[in-house]
A and B are shown apart, each in its own frame.
Chain A
Amino acid sequence: MSMKRSAHFYLQLTFTITVCAFLLVPVVLSILAGVTENFFVGIKSGLTLRWVVEVWSLYSKTIFLSIGISLATLAVTLLIGIPAAYVLARKQNRYTRWVEELLVLPVAVPGLATALALILLYGQFSAFRISWTFILVGHVLFTLPFMVRSVLAVMSAIDLKTLEDAAASLGATFTQRFFHVILPNCRQGILAGALMVVTLSMGEFNITWMLHTPLTMTLPVGLADSYASMRLEIGSAYTIVFFIMIIPLLVAMQWMSEPARPTKAKHG
């Protein structure tokens, strides 16, 4: 790799750094504001953890609810998504393509429409309406296509039928084949789908805002509430909590996509 860079290179580098700064600077500002005594005065007013503590006392319930809902969403999408992906992989015809198309609709259509539709049909069942499972339904609809696609991609890449036929010829029943041959062979896809589902569920707002009640506030709903009604420092401290929760998920996703390219050129 040549060491000498052209003016063109530096021009594009400056542009790219500017774009990254646009994305990164507000993140840094929110972290600073969340630990500053008074953001309006600036850092010289002193650093503090009191805003984080206050967020915990005001909003800790939203954090636990979001974790609970995302894990429940994961459980449901695994339970219903993997069997569906298996059938879609085994039977590739007009009908299964239709099913694939349909499943993506809740993602293609704005969350507001899905939420409104759910409220109009099920809003009158008040026990369901005020329960966290109402939000769970929205999250399952929204994340299911990501699980199905992720598992389906791996299942389509391996020769599922040959694997199954081989196992069957050795006398394995369908249950044995499914749990001991099929599932282990697509764990990459299952893991990638699972990370995606949990991350999306943790951050979902458009559907959840319409479906939530004062007693079923999730983390993003709580964030919107704090941005609207609390001082900037509290909103920022709350945002820090959100960052801390999604960073491990993002790092895991990044790490998952790494093994695919071990032979890449090293950095110059």
Chain B
Amino acid sequence: MKPTRREALRHSLLVLPVFIVFSAFWLLPMARLLSVGASGEMGVSAYWAVVTDSRYLSSLISTVALSAGVTVVTIIIAGIAGMFLQRNRFIGRSFLIATLTFPLAFPGVVVGFMVILLVGRQGLVGSVTEWMFGEKLVLAYSMTGLFLGYLYFSIPRVILTIMAAAEKLDGALEEAARSLGASPWQVVRDVMIPGLRPALISSGAICFATSMGAFGTAFTLATKINVLPITIYSEFTNYANLPLAAALSIVLGVITWLALALARSMAGSTVAAAA
């Protein structure tokens, strides 16, 4: 059967709905966002405001630093726990895995609330420290609180990716390294990490991109913390500065997209951001 014009027409008709929806509701609005970003008093240079204006620059730097820090710490924590859960069988293992899977579906606002319950004004850590030292330890409404919140939503994603990758690792390689006299640290550095490299890069990139754009968690914890999504939101709602809000969100979008694209070209596998 030869591929006919009829078949080509059919294929075009089948993708047409997605094409229309995507063009009308994403491509066109994004084009508008791009042009609004250049429509303010500053014109196109609004896009440079993020590096020339110290207020936005500090917001950008703290957001990047926070996201990078969260990514590194998450990968270390998730690497240790994920390898352990993948390599050992014991009673209660599936309960621990279920515990790690559950928070995957939490919106950012719920994660923020979890941090408040843990280290907020009426939180557990506050009560325990007050009882022990007579002074309440409250961390939720600061950068530390944000850091904990971002860890909260990042750890489950990264652990599950690492476990899936670790399942495919050849345990015999580690055995061989050990029998040749490699120390546990050498096994980790020279066998495990290279084997997990694609998974580490792709889950790290997702973790970084999600942290850069995380709005709900920061919104719940404190609207005064100077991270980029909050800056964009307050430019939009409090100052009605549409051009700047548009320019900043384009910059933010380009950064997260670049992080994911870079990771994909390095890891050689598909890297899709998760919610």
* Residues of A near any B CB (own CB < 8 A): 1, 8-9, 12-13, 15-17, 19-20, 22-27, 29-30, 33, 39-40, 76, 79-81, 83-84, 86-88, 90-91, 99, 102-114, 116-118, 120-122, 137, 140-142, 144-145, 148-149, 165, 168-169, 174, 199-200, 202-206, 209-210, 220, 223-224, 227-228, 232, 235-236, 239, 242, 246, 249-250, 254, 265-268
Of the A-B pairs whose beta carbons lie under 8 Å apart in the complex, a sample of 26, sorted by A's number, is A12-B81, A16-B80, A20-B99, A22-B152, A24-B99, A26-B115, A76-B21, A88-B15, A104-B273, A105-B257, A110-B252, A110-B253, A111-B213, A112-B229, A113-B30, A113-B33, A137-B25, A141-B22, A204-B107, A205-B215, A206-B108, A206-B215, A220-B110, A223-B113, A224-B109, A250-B104
Q: A84-B18, A103-B22 are in contact. List 6 more A-B contacts (CB 8 A).
A: A20-B96, A116-B232, A116-B245, A205-B216, A209-B215, A267-B91
Q: B236 contacts A116, CB within 8 Å? A: yes
**Residue-wise interface mask of B (246-267) relative to A, using a CB-CB cutoff of 8 A (1 in contact, 0 not):** 1001101100110010000000
Q: Which residues of B contact A (CB under 8 A)?
A: 1, 10-11, 14-15, 17-18, 21-22, 25-30, 32-33, 36, 77, 80-81, 84-85, 88-91, 93-94, 96, 98-110, 112-118, 122-124, 151-152, 155-156, 159, 184, 209, 212-216, 219-220, 229, 232-233, 236, 242, 245-246, 249-250, 252-253, 256-257, 260, 272-275
Q: Are A12 and B116 in contact (CB under 8 A)?
A: no
CA distance A256 to B252 in the complex (A): 35
CB distance from A204 to the nearest CB of B (A): 7
Tell me whether A110 and B229 are in contact in the complex, defined as CB-CB below 8 angstroms, given that A87-B14, A223-B107 are known contacts: yes
- Least CB distance from B227 to A in Å reads 11
A169 to B88 CA separation, bound complex (whole angstroms) = 52
A170 to chain B, nearest CB (A): 13
Quick one: given A141-B26, A267-B94, are A16 and B84 in contact (CB under 8 Å)? yes
Query: Measured between C-beta atoms, what is the minimum distance from A104 to chain B in Å?
Result: 6
Chain A residue at smallest Cβ distance from B274 = A107
B117 touches A33 (CB 8 A): yes
Given A109-B253, A223-B109, does the pair A209, B273 have CB atoms closer than 8 Å? no
Nearest-CB distance from A243 to chain B (Å)? 9
Residues of B near A90 (CB, < 8 A) are 11
Q: Which of A84, A120, A209, A250 contacts B33 (CB 8 A)?
A: A120
Measured CA separation A250–B91 after assembly (Å) = 22
Interface of A is mostly: helix
- When chains A and B are docked, how far (Å) is the Cα of A87 from the Cα of B9? 11
Q: Which of B98, B101, B116, B215 has the most CB of A within 10 A?
A: B215
**CB-defined contacts of A103 to chain B, threshold 8 Å:** 18, 22
A88 to B15, CA, bound (A): 9
Q: Which chain B residues lie closer than 8 Å to A40 at the CB level?
A: 122
B-chain residues with CB within 8 Å of residue A99 when the two chains form the complex: 15, 18
Q: Contacts A80-B21, A108-B260 hold; do A120 and B11 have CB atoms under 8 A apart?
A: no
Say yes or no: B257 contacts A109, CB within 8 Å.
yes
A114-B89 CB under 8 A given contacts A107-B273, A223-B109: no
| Given A16-B81, A203-B275, A249-B105, CB of A80 within 8 Å of CB of B117 | no
Asked whether, in the complex, the Cβ of A204 is within 8 Å of the Cβ of B84, the reply is no
Q: How far is the CA of A200 from the CA of B104 in the complex (A)?
A: 10
Q: What are the residues of chain B within 8 A of A223 when measuring CB–CB?
A: 107, 109-110, 113
The answer, among B30, B81, B213, B273, for a CB contact under 8 Å with A15, is B81
By a CB distance below 8 angstroms, the chain B residues around A13 are 84, 88, 90
Interfacial chain A residues near B275, Cβ < 8 Å: 107, 142, 200, 203-204
- Residues on B with C-beta less than 8 A from A220 are 107, 109-110, 216
Min Cβ gap A238→B in Å is 9
Q: Which residues of A contact B220 (CB under 8 A)?
A: 224, 227-228
Question: A110–B215 contact, CB under 8 A?
Answer: yes
Indicate the member of A27, A90, A117 with the most B CB atoms within 10 Å: A117
A86 to B16, CA, bound (A): 12
